[in-house]
A and B are shown apart, each in its own frame.
Chain A
Amino acid sequence: MKNMKSFIKYSVFSLVALLAFASCDGEKLELNPTSSMSGASLMENANSALVPLNGLYRSMYTYQNSESFGPVSFNFMNDAMAEDMVMGAGGSGWFEWDVLYRFKNYYTSTGERCYTIWNMHYTWISNVNYILAAEETMQGEKTDVNYVMGQAYAIRAYSYFMLAQNFARTLVGHENEPCVPIYTEPTVPGTEGQPRSTNAEVYAQIDKDINKACELLKGTTQKHISHISYAAALGLKARIALVENNWQTAKDAAHEAISASGKKILHTSDF
């Protein structure tokens, strides 16, 4: 009997102590990784929003493979495919497939430009849509928020501009022909793929975005040379206007870009 009494005493005692110790509230099970951050916390204020913006710029010069390393590689391809140069045969094997229209065999390859141009620009568009969705709620100084949002609009304009030029006929004379799908809302699980919008619709979106970008970036100071500044946005606007054949808009935007940059055009005799 004595044994039993001590047993009861000790075990009940420890059981109670233990259960108090071991009781677990649900919060302990909500863990966060330290090698990444959640989207919600990054879009809280203009300062933390620079993180996704800088990440976007970095992904623009991240190497994927020898034929796709961001806008520079797409520009190589576009230069080779321009009307002022004709390639009659393959070169040393790089950047030749597009020019020679030999891409048909590779259209499902995720390593070739038919996929990477599409994928890269739409990745930037979806990243930018998350930033733009926080336009109303982002905290911080007006100029700081505008700095972030302006760049976001400029990147989106640039992305749709590149997509339109690579995957559709040019705007002038082909206003109602199919262009590329437009997305302006952040992607969530279950977001449906959109059908191709017309050239007119896409360029209208591009114009809206680049004009907003210029408006927001006016008066802001560039924080890093890789960021799209007011001058850079104007230069982009001029380029877009050229494709649209809006000569006056192009000239005005270009002039303002030069003066906003604080630089001057070097004459050929000064080289």
Chain B
Amino acid sequence: MTVSYVGMRTQKLEISSNVRIVLQPDAEMIDEVIVVAYGTSKKSSFTGSAQNIDGKKMELRPISSVTKGIEGQVTGVQVTNSSGQPGSSPDIRIRGFGSLNASSAPLYVVDGIPYDGALNAINPSDIESMTILKDASAGALYGARGANGVIMITTKKGKEGKAQVTYRSNVGWASRAGHDYNNVDMKEYTQLLYESLRNGYIYTDGMPWADGEAAARAALKGRMGGELYNPFKNYTWDEIIDPATGQVRPDATPAWNENWMDAVRHDNAFRHEHQLSVNGGSDRNKYMMSFGYVNEDGILKATNFQRYNTRINLESKVTDWFTANANVSLAHTVTDYSTYTGSANSNVWYTAQFANPLFPMYLKNLDGTNALDANGNPQLDYGENGRPGTLTDFNVLGGLLDDKWSYKRDIAGLRSGLVFGSDSDSFGIFKGLKLAINFGLDYTNTLEMGYYNMHHGNQAKQGGRISKENGRTQSYTFNQLVTWTRSFGLHNFNVLVGHEYYDYIYEYLGAAKSNLVDGILELRPGTTMQDADSYTSQYRINSFLSQFDYNFDDKYYFKASLRQDASSRFYKDNHTGTFWSLGANWRISKEKFMQNVKWVDNLSFKASYGEQGNDDLNSFYLWQSLYSLSYSNADNVGGVISSLETKDVTWEKNGNFNIGLEGALFDRRLSFNVEYYNKKTTDMLLEYPMATSTGFDGYNANVGDMRNSGIEAEITVNPIRTKDFNWDITLMGSTVNNKVLKLTNETPEIISGIYSVAKVGQELNTFYMIKSAGVDPSNGSPLYWAYEKDDEGNRIDGTDYITSDRSVANNCKYYLGSRIPDLYGSIATNLSYKGFDLSVMTTYSLGGKIFDSLYSGGMNVLYISQTWNRNELRRWQKPGDITDVPRVELGVAGAQTDRYLIDASYFAIKNITFGYTFPTSWIRKAGLTGLRLYTSMDNLALFTHLDGMNPQNNFSGSTGYNYTPNKTLSVGLEVKF
């Protein structure tokens, strides 16, 4: 008899009375189907570069935004992790940095239609799979917006069969990921402060050593605002430094030690998430419904993210030749956040993270005890009693709790389609001809509130200030696609022709008032109008697309696509762009000569080339001569010209080449995928410089070329695969080589701050800075490298010398590499034994440098309200000392040298999940079809070259005073019935 089953090797057996039949999986038939541009494809025969992430990998992780689930899963993708604000979404770059001034962000597509909603509105549990399209053959069908890669998200659909209900619940606790910056303690701070005063008197004012020491001892009191702010109650400021040793008295005891960062941190921030989904259907109608709720507290007090979401996916086979589907999703999110960024006093990550350790959080009496209020409670210290420095009327915890910033967002999405047509023979010549009409809509409405309190701080004198802003985004895509799928013998054809129209509109309304009533967070009671504004932005694209897909005998695949987009961003004569691709795939393992090579299950070789375009040049109206209307003169409308009319501005183009080899060997025990890509961006938008006396610094022009190339490799090994025990390891590595090829003739180099942002022949954002040459042992002054220059101002090799003159060094900068790593990727492993499973995912990056300005701020303190980094303890203290840290000074801005350029290599343990799935025999009695308990630890550990530094802050290699990323430990369960 013959026994067969889908996905299993057919077996022929002898008939006998007692037969035990065990079917083996057919390795050849398990062929992953992935969702690609405007359709699906088998992974092994896909001509483009695409990688798939199974939704299961994200279902059970305690992540609130889908992009957090991409890291480490796919080669060629770099992710930033710049904010730990709950609900924040990291930025993603696919295959290098495609542009200087245009957006390098990929396109997000949900269920076939480009997505304009917020990424944190998508419930990760609703995702069936995510496909990352990396090359032209994969992405050219998305034309305009596909140049930087496409991330396709496909949501779960209904399945035929008995209705299945799944309930998932996850609770977790979050704390800071990685280490804090190591700062000096109270006694060390006092020592450094004294030395900085001493050094000032000796080296800036020219006093002899002993006089300088005495003057510094006497100056401490004035500098620190008197004895009230002296925590060492057993010594006054005059006595705290021992004149004999020049050191802080070892037995000085602080009466308080109130770390500002600890006061604003919310340790063990709680997160809980609940999901319920129902999934079922008949052969005609299928449905999937899901409901979810997430509430995540941030590791900073008063920050939080909440999301309610629901999704309903319906698919109906109305007749044999007509199917209809509708996916509706609704989400409501509320985010409480802290609005301050950069070096603003109210930015907790700037002020509290690096606060002077001597400053107390609560008001103190002269004896060091808390100055209590009328009710006997401690009071926050707003600095009113002479706290030194510029933090007037300020308390970091008070501001965090009293100022309120939040936004509420409602997101609705619709993806609907009708398909007419059939593959049935009864249709004669119309067999395989289908017409699909799709309509997708994304609607987002955000209401944002910003409230400055009326008691302390920024707007206290104005009686508090409240602003409310409303932004409404609506975009829809409407396409009509005609496809024809037919086979003639061994020749298989699939042709697509279609039209698509995209319309985007954003409307903004905002108003603000001051002088408010305490407790009422509305504009109405405010007496003074501060601001009222509204505007609209629009953007439209009209496109025609086509694709020709042919394969012979499932062995030779060929695909060509062509798309033409007309974009409203450009002048009408230049607004059309044509994008195309050609790709081929040779399934070597299907060849006759490979049939006897049993150890090769699948081997395919593919190559593609195409041209894609980018119109996201950071403005919807780039070519127009515009007057900025925000220059009103008293009550008269006023405008000043802000851009020159440049009718010639057009698309940035991208020529994208990809070749790859993919295979599965030894009965799928070893599978690999190696690709090489080479992308050349041309017509890069740059500012073509003009003489300043013309009134403009430059005008927008498409000049400039850049190249990104690299190799991506992925290997999965499955050493153990038995009935009970399975173990596999996946290694991923990617390289990125970036080079600027051409800029304008007038500016062969663009310099900004410490970056040579672009220079012909170099990587984007190369560090261009002063090179430190150590410290002069005689006086602790910093030393720098300098060199001689030729007539064109270029460095002459071999003429480097050391100097202490900073202005000379400022004119002799060096190119010192960039953030771009040599190799980055991930190492992941999965083990399962009977019902237990363990998965570990780690990521790594080798090479690249980061300029850590938070570190340089801690080594070069400017204000009395800030503290030093522990590395400052290596400073030069007396003549004769040999060290790499110059003498300590307060308030003197030092040079930005390569002392603060840190190796960006890191290793991170991104996720460890350990779970147990109960055997079906046990739970069947309870009426359940599945029960799984698990613990999932996200962002568990980070190893970097400098404690506190976040190596994934951004792609250009700088750090910022940002909400630190967090790690979450969670437990959860999944019940199916």
Contact = CB atoms under 8 A, between A and B. Distances in A.
Interface of A: 1, 3-4, 6-8, 10-11, 14-15, 18-19, 22, 24, 26, 28-40, 42, 50-59, 62, 105, 115, 118-119, 122-123, 125-127, 129-130, 180-181, 183, 187-194, 224, 226
7 contacts: A30-B572, A31-B538, A31-B621, A36-B621, A57-B633, A115-B692, A126-B641
8 tightest A-B contacts by CB?
A126-B695, A193-B691, A54-B638, A55-B638, A54-B633, A36-B626, A55-B631, A58-B631
Interface string B39-62: 000000000000000000000000
Contacts of A4: 321, 426-428, 430
A129 B418 CA distance: 57
Contact of A127 (B428, B640, B693): B640
A131 B695 CA distance: 14
B422 interface: yes
A30 B569 CA distance: 8
Given A1-B426, A56-B638, A32 B621 contact: yes
B632 interface: yes
B420 interface: yes
Given A7-B430, A189-B699, A58 B568 contact: no
Interface in B328-347: none
Contacts of B637: 50-51, 54
Contacts of B536: 34
Contacts of B634: 224, 226
Given A38-B625, A126-B641, A189-B688, A3 B572 contact: no
Nearest to B540: A29
Contacts of B630: 35
Nearest to B424: A3
A22 B420 CA distance: 18
B480 interface: yes
B639 A189 contact: no
A105 B627 contact: no
Contacts of B418: 14
B421 A224 contact: no
**Of A32, A35, A194, which is in contact with the most chain B CB atoms at under 10 Å from its CB?**
A35
Nearest to B422: A7
A33 B322 CA distance: 42
B645 interface: yes
B535 A11 contact: no
A24 B478 CA distance: 12
A111 to B, nearest CB: 13
**Of B321, B536, B629, B636, which is in contact with the most chain A CB atoms at under 10 Å from its CB?**
B636
Nearest to A52: B639
Interface string B312-333: 0000000111100000000000
Nearest to A25: B542
B567 interface: yes
A122 B694 contact: yes
Interface string B395-424: 000000000000000000000001011100
Interface size class of B (residues with CB under 8 A): 35 or more
Contacts of B646: 189
Contacts of B541: 29
B690 A191 contact: yes
A218 B911 CA distance: 79
A187 B639 contact: no
A53 B638 CA distance: 7
A129 B694 CA distance: 10
B865 to A, nearest CB: 20
Given A26-B572, A35-B629, A36-B626, A126 B696 contact: yes
A187 B695 contact: yes
B640 A58 contact: yes
A10 B627 contact: no
Contacts of B701: 189
A62 B480 contact: no
A180 B572 CA distance: 39
Contacts of B639: 36-37, 42, 51-52, 54-55
Contacts of A50: 636-637
Contact of A33 (B422, B426, B626): B626
Contacts of B540: 28-29, 31
B862 to A, nearest CB: 15
A137 to B, nearest CB: 16
B320 A3 contact: yes
A37 B627 contact: yes
A29 B572 contact: yes
A54 B426 contact: no
Contacts of B537: 33-35
A89 to B, nearest CB: 16
Contact of B620 (A33, A39, A180, A183): A33
A34 B535 CA distance: 6
B435 A15 contact: yes
B575 interface: yes
B460 interface: no
Contacts of B482: 15
A51 B637 CA distance: 6
Given A7-B420, A15-B480, A122 B427 contact: no
Contacts of A19: 480, 499
A54 B321 CA distance: 65
A225 to B, nearest CB: 8
Contacts of B4: none
A56 B421 CA distance: 64
B235 interface: no
A192 B631 CA distance: 28
Given A34-B536, A58-B640, A123 B321 contact: no
A71 to B, nearest CB: 15
B624 interface: yes
Given A18-B480, A31-B538, A33-B537, A39 B645 contact: yes
Contact of B694 (A31, A39, A53, A187): A187
A194 B693 CA distance: 8
A7 B405 CA distance: 56
Given A10-B322, A35-B535, A54 B631 contact: yes
Given A31-B539, A188-B644, 16 more contacts: A7-B430, A22-B501, A24-B501, A26-B566, A30-B568, A32-B624, A38-B624, A39-B627, A51-B627, A51-B639, A54-B636, A55-B638, A58-B631, A127-B640, A187-B694, A189-B699
Contacts of A38: 624-627
B8 to A, nearest CB: 34
B642 A36 contact: yes
A54 B632 contact: yes
A125 to B, nearest CB: 6
Interface in B632-666: 632-634, 636-642, 644-646, 648
B375 interface: no
A36 B627 contact: yes
A22 B478 contact: yes
Nearest to A53: B638
Interface in B559-583: 566-568, 572, 575
A57 B694 CA distance: 19
Interface in B540-570: 540-542, 566-568
